Structure 1
Amino acid sequence: MSGFVGVLMLDTAFPRIPGDAGNADSYPFPVRLRVVPGAGSTEIVQGTAPPPALTAAFIDAARALEAEGAVGLVSTCGFLVHIQEELAAAVKIPVMLSALSLYPALRLASGNRPVGILTASRQSLLAGGLASAGIDPAAVHVAGVQGCTAFAEAILRPKSEQPDTLNAEAIGTYCASLAAGMVAKDPRLACFLLECGNLPPYADRIRQATGRPVFGIGDAAALLWRGAQG
């Protein structure tokens, strides 16, 4: 085996706990993390693409990782789906910036039953994130964790206001309850897709609360890694 998966990271200060897309130990294969300066949560978690200067910074970081030997690229924020096509066209290696890229396969694998999407911001995802991912809003159930105080105050604030601690227990409880409520509302829901790269640490709790499979950006990274190995 050779190479690594490059992980484009938002510029944040909150802890990247095990399971988080921005923690190298979350991956059972080599990764290389690359922070894009100035790309904070408040700039990227939006219903539209980031400003051209930030898009250019992501492309520069992607090209640098490719030159260093990356076999594929992912990111820590699913809202970078807004620049998926532009960034993928700028390099010669596979790119899956968002877990939302997994949606078409999950939809088919689930017999076209509804997929539940947990996101950092429901409003922003519905405002443009789903459209950028090519997802029909009528085919999915979307719930946001922006209403979780422990999540919002740590992750959805400007970097200068983000704490150096994270109440993972509170966030996990919120996510499990949110997902269970979605299944109770529509038992046809086949699986969950985590848009946000900060949510995979709570995937097991979501599985336990719902009995449904859960997928995230780590699965996209694993797909790119396995595809590159001889």
Structure 2
Amino acid sequence: MRKKTFHGVSVGILMVQTEFCRLPGDVGHAGTWDFPVQYRVVEGATPDKMMALESSGLLDDFKRAALDLVKGGVDGIATTCGFLALFQNELAAACGVPVATSSLLQVPLAQRLIAPGKRVGILTFSKENLHAAHLEAVGVDPATPVTGMPADSVFVTAIKSGDPVPRHKEMRAEVLAAAARLLEEHPDVGAIVAECSNMTPFSADIVERFGVPVFDGVSLINWFQAGLRPRRFAPA
């Protein structure tokens, strides 16, 4: 049996170093969860560096933070940034516990769920910075349709600038517009995976507006938790 410093927490979540207002439903908002989670900020992992992970030199910083959470007592590691798909194999090898770096891990599963002839589409923080290497690291076809948020959108500028003011209305409108572009440009899309964990407050709005299932950072971590701590049923 493992020795632990803290108890009753299965999922440890590695956080990017940000200062913007995280909304309820965001992976980085503790009120999102029906179970306790343990956060750890990775110092120096700013949004700009997350857009350039290949050259950021951050892999060792994420490993150290993850191992600190594992040493403390968590049973699995998740993150608040889908771009960390690039580090999936390295972190899983280093941690000794299950690791779910990115909502993009759900793309292959979602593809199996939808009808033949339909494809999964990805909504991302930045299409320009989501490379084939990110997708291939988690078993996603690089030809998967991708739509990103505009660089001058409130969604992007608020996150990058560390805006502390809640921007729910503006962000919701922009995420819905991005989903509309994805579906207009790729009418064969039958399900959406939101790469960016800051989009998760608006997943229900996308489903309601467009009638396609959405998988995101919250659905991933809920599934992850269910495997780490399955519900126990009393015998009849």
**Structure 2-normalised TM-score?**
0.88
Q: Tell me which residue corresponds to 1:122.
A: 127
Cα distance in 2 between the residues matched to 1:29 and 1:209: 29
Q: 1:80 aligns with which of 72, 81, 84?
A: 84
Pick from 149, 154, 160: which aligns with 2:158?
Answer: 154
Q: Cα deviation per residue 1:55-100 (whole Å; 9 max; x = unaligned)?
A: 1111111111111221211111001111111111011211111001
User: Does 2:11 match 1:16?
Assistant: no
Identity between Structure 1 and Structure 2 (%): 33
2:10 alignment partner in structure 1: 4
Higher relative contact order (CA 8 A, sep 6+): 1
Q: Which has the larger radius of gyration?
A: 2
> Unpaired segments of 5 or more residues in structure 2?
1-6, 231-236
Q: For 2:77, give the aligned amino acid.
A: L
Secondary structure of 1:15 counterpart: coil
Change (3 A) 1:127 1:104: closer
Checking the alignment, whether the CA contact within 8 Å between 1:177 and 1:209 is kept in structure 2 is: no
Aligned to 1:173: 173
Is 1:89 matched up with 2:63? no
Out of 133, 145, 149, the position equivalent to 2:149 is 145
In the TM superposition, residue 127 of structure 1 has moved relative to its aligned partner by: 5.6
The aligned counterpart of 2:104 is 100
Match of 1:28 among 34, 40, 47: 34
Q: Specify the SS of the correspondent of 2:11.
A: strand
Deviation larger for 95-104 or 178-187: 178-187
Q: Which consecutive residues of structure 1, in runs of 5 or more, have no partner in the other structure?
A: none
Q: Match of 1:228?
A: 228
1:118/1:195 contact within 8 Å kept: yes
Alpha-carbon distance between aligned partners in 1 of 2:51 and 2:56, rounded to the nearest angstrom: 12
Contact 2:155 2:174 in 1 (8 A): no
RMSD (CA atoms): 1.8
User: 1:19/1:181 Cα in 2 relative to 1: closer, same or farther (>3 Å)?
Assistant: same
Q: How many residues align?
A: 223
TM-score by length of 1: 0.90
